Chains A and B, each alone.
Chain A
Amino acid sequence: MSSFEPKIIAFCCDQSGYPSLEMAGRLGLRLPKNVEVVRVPCAGRIETIYLLRALERVADGILIFACYEENCQFLRGNLRVKSRLFYAYKILEKIGLEKERLEICNLSTNSGVRFVEVLQRKYDALKKLGPNPFTQKV
């Protein structure tokens, strides 16, 4: 278990998550190992199926970096993804997977430090939670 390196998919909104990632780079901050960034034009572009697909295929955990509520360039994108996340929680509950593997983080453009902190916290939490059984070969 100690050699387990959780794979995290980080969906990053182009208005908040991705600029924060770039800022983290400029500040020389290091991301945890095994993080895959998926850049989206708005968090509202993320469908529930994307979360399931990622969990079924590769991810031990997923983080969605979206703008603060009431601060979405497209008005409701961050609220839409929040609703979809809650819908995904219901599905995970039905199929018996910990909902802690999915999380949303609201941040602003200049949140490079917070971006890395949240990812690191997720990495540590997933390390404790263990591998996603669906990505393991049966």
Chain B
Amino acid sequence: MIKAEQKPMDEILGYIESYNKILLSGCGACVTVCHAGGEKEVELLSYSLKMARKKMGNPIEILEITPARQCEPEFALELKEMVQNVEAVLSIACGVGVQTLVRHYPNTPIFPGLNTTFLGETVIHGIWEERCQACGNCVLGKTGGICPISRCAKQLLNGPCGGSSNGKCEIKKEADCAWQLIYDRMKNLKQLHKLEEIIPAKRWGIESRDSGLRRIVREDLKV
């Protein structure tokens, strides 16, 4: 799922400094799971902002809402009435949710309250780790289900590099070396021979972000 973290308070206060009534919108999906933009976080941020503005001598009124998924038009449109009654919207959904609101509310300033960080997994409650970079052509089938694009600092497709030491990455000492994990996994599965196959370089410019905006079209689903 998408993982995110709240932006620094000063940055958020800067975005809304000229407004006296805003809507603070969370999202009930990914950012709720990583405790960055769910209903609880909406309330916490709302109180924090109200208190900070009150201290500045410039109180602010904040309406609160947490649609089930801010990145879906049906849910984004639920905000319509509230958006009409405020000067701006602060969204603590991911960057996708923010842009969905921007698309549906062209006349209202919409600001992000989160930094969307990565696609990741909950390692244990309170710790999330990157697992996918949405590179567009999944290689997990060749690497024992461990992603070298998101988990290897050098994104090596045929690793490890010379810096792997005692199973740890030389770039981030606390991180496991992805290629050590891949080797251990393949050994465990008795499939080490599969690593002899060279994985060809990825076509970043064709299948990934380097060629610009990516889009999926399913004609059968269009209404």
Q: Point out residues on A near B: beta carbons under 8 Å.
A: 47-49, 52-53, 55-56, 91, 94-97, 133-134, 138
Structural contact, A138 and B54, CB atoms closer than 8 A: yes
Segment among B18-26, B43-51, B79-87, B89-97 that sits at the interface with chain A: B43-51
Given contacts A47-B40, A94-B9, A95-B9, contact A52 B48 (CB under 8 A): yes
Structural contact, B52 and A49, CB atoms closer than 8 A: no
The residue in chain A whose Cβ has the minimal distance to the Cβ of B52 is A95
Structural contact, B51 and A134, CB atoms closer than 8 A: yes
Q: Which of A53, A55, A94, A138 contacts B52 (CB 8 A)?
A: A94
Main secondary structure of the interface of A (DSSP, over half): helix
Q: Which of A47, A48, A53, A134 contacts B55 (CB 8 A)?
A: A134
Structural contact, B55 and A91, CB atoms closer than 8 A: no
- B162 interface residue per 8 A CB criterion: no
Q: Point out residues on B near A: beta carbons under 8 Å.
A: 8-9, 40, 43-44, 47-48, 50-52, 54-55, 57, 59
The residue in chain A whose Cβ has the minimal distance to the Cβ of B50 is A56
Q: Which of B8, B40, B44, B54 contacts A91 (CB 8 A)?
A: B44
The residue in chain B whose Cβ has the minimal distance to the Cβ of A93 is B9
Structural contact, B51 and A138, CB atoms closer than 8 A: no
Structural contact, B51 and A52, CB atoms closer than 8 A: yes
Chain B neighbourhood of A91, CB < 8 A: 44, 48
Chain B neighbourhood of A94, CB < 8 A: 8-9, 48, 52
Structural contact, A96 and B55, CB atoms closer than 8 A: yes
B97 CB to closest chain A CB (Å) equals 22
Structural contact, A95 and B44, CB atoms closer than 8 A: no
Given contacts A94-B9, A95-B9, contact A48 B44 (CB under 8 A): yes
What separation, in Å, do the CA atoms of A91 and B50 have in the docked complex?
A: 12
What separation, in Å, do the CA atoms of A94 and B12 have in the docked complex?
A: 11
Q: Which 7 residue pairs across A and B have the least CB separation, nearest first?
A: A94-B9, A95-B52, A52-B47, A95-B51, A49-B43, A134-B51, A91-B48
